[in-house]
Structure 1
Amino acid sequence: MKLTALVLTLCVAVHANSNGGSETCCVDMVPKHPVDAQSSPFAKTGYKVSVDKEKISDGGEAKITVSGERPFKGYLLQVRDGETAIGTFDIAANDGHSKTINCFTKEKDHHLQSHNTLHKHVDLMLRRWLGMLSHLLNQLPFPVDFNDVFFRGEPKHNMATHNNANDKKSVSVTWKPPKGVKKTYTVYVTVAENGGVFWVRQPTAKITVE
């Protein structure tokens, strides 16, 4: 079975985004805070990501839990195939901790996939622009579904984030892989203890879809 590393990323926006991360966090997974990320080893922070099953069947689901010895304020979570956010997070509308956001990374940009450095730069800038545009549309007094306007038919709910800035010791969400994709996923996390202390894109657990 061909193994493809997919990224499960947790990114946090606190204070500036107390009700959760936004589409502007989709590409680089870095909280938009006015300080740099921590450089200390993530393994010594007391924060971790765990999964209830290391192997799931095609069409199955996995529960992913973010927890810590100390509280954290918020989070953002993705599962990626290379640089593309895939799969679906199943979170109830009345959930007390989490919500979903639509991230559009490379599903519609296959023409830009290239080893050419310039093409990669253009691809990155395009995806950042799409994220900012989606965020602006969501701020309108009349909600605009970015997916329906620009990417009709593309997957939705492929990013999970916090919906408040309350202290959290543990948050669990359910993730479902895309159907027919049998690969090994790598879990990556960015977690913020608060608005000034956060660790970016750390590799943690793995999930294999068989």
Structure 2
Amino acid sequence: MSPFGPCYLLLITASVDYWAPGDCYSNGKVDVVCDDMVPYHGFPSQTTPAPYHLKTNATMFGPTDRIKVTLFGTTDFQGFFLQARDTAVENSGFAVGTFTLTDPLQTQLLTCHEQQDSAVSHTSDDKKTEVVVIWNPPADAPQQIQFFVTVVTNYSVFWVKLPGPIISQHGSSPHPQSESTLPSA
């Protein structure tokens, strides 16, 4: 064994700790996940029922409405990525509308596909129990949109693209709501 063996191992350990991806997105700058909403942590997404849910304060919207969207769960979470998408475009990675923050200390706006403020994420990996934002429909909004969220409990435990409520434009047929996506006033 070389007299440098333990030092070499120490150097490798220090390098691995330095390059560990755990801190890559703790600041929430995750616009690289705009399409598939996958955090790329090197672990598989959870397949069990998620302890997190989205709710809205309305089932219908118009061009000037502001829809309150709440992310909450039965356990704390460190990170999230939230978008609204057109229900008519299956597997669309394109966000619809913009968001307004209610707490800029724990949430931030992101740009996806050159559409400013089209997604929301965390500002740090501090534990959160609830996040509230406002969704603003665009002038050319589709008939129905659905909210989707990826939630990170910790670096190795996360759920990808959890479906949230579907809301419809005034005058269109409302989408039937499941119990897990019912809006709340």
1:39 pairs with 2:44:
no
Which segments of 5 or more consecutive residues in structure 1 lack a partner in the other structure?
Answer: 1-12, 105-146, 148-154
TM-score using structure 2 length: 0.72
1:18 pairs with 2:56:
no
- 1:1-210 correspondence runs (5 A): 15-42=23-50, 45=51, 47-81=52-86, 82=89, 83=92, 84-91=94-101, 95-104=104-113, 147=114, 155-210=115-170
**Higher helix residue share:** 1
Q: Is the Cα–Cα contact under 8 Å of residues 102 and 156 in structure 1 kept in the other structure?
A: yes
User: Matches of 1:68 and 1:168 in 2, distance apart?
Assistant: 9
Task: Describe the superposition over 1:87-131 as per-residue Cα deviations: whole angstroms up to 9, x where unpaired.
Answer: 111126x71110111100xxxxxxxxxxxxxxxxxxxxxxxxxxx
**Higher strand residue share:** 2
1:190 alignment partner AA: T
Q: Secondary structure at the match of 1:206?
A: strand
TM-score using structure 1 length: 0.64
Q: Secondary structure at the match of 2:116?
A: coil
Deviation at 1:209?
2.1
User: Matches of 2:29 and 2:169 in 1, distance apart?
Assistant: 28
What's the RMSD between the two structures over aligned residues?
A: 1.9
User: Matches of 1:30 and 1:168 in 2, distance apart?
Assistant: 20
User: Matches of 1:103 and 1:40 in 2, distance apart?
Assistant: 28
Q: Secondary structure at the match of 2:112?
A: coil
Number of equivalenced pairs: 145
User: Matches of 2:49 and 2:125 in 1, distance apart?
Assistant: 24
Sequence identity of aligned pairs in percent?
30
Task: Describe the superposition over 1:129-176 as per-residue Cα deviations: whole angstroms up to 9, x where unpaired.
Answer: xxxxxxxxxxxxxxxxxx5xxxxxxx3110111111110000000110
User: Matches of 2:130 and 2:27 in 1, distance apart?
Assistant: 17
User: Matches of 1:14 and 1:176 in 2, distance apart?
Assistant: 32
2:107 alignment partner AA: S
Deviation at 1:182?
4.7
Which segments of 5 or more consecutive residues in structure 2 lack a partner in the other structure?
Answer: 1-20, 171-185
Structure number with bigger Rg:
2
Deviation at 1:60?
0.9
Q: Is the Cα–Cα contact under 8 Å of residues 82 and 147 in structure 2 kept in the other structure?
A: no
Q: Secondary structure at the match of 1:85?
A: coil
Q: Secondary structure at the match of 2:48?
A: coil
Q: Secondary structure at the match of 2:32?
A: helix
Match of 1:144 in 2: none
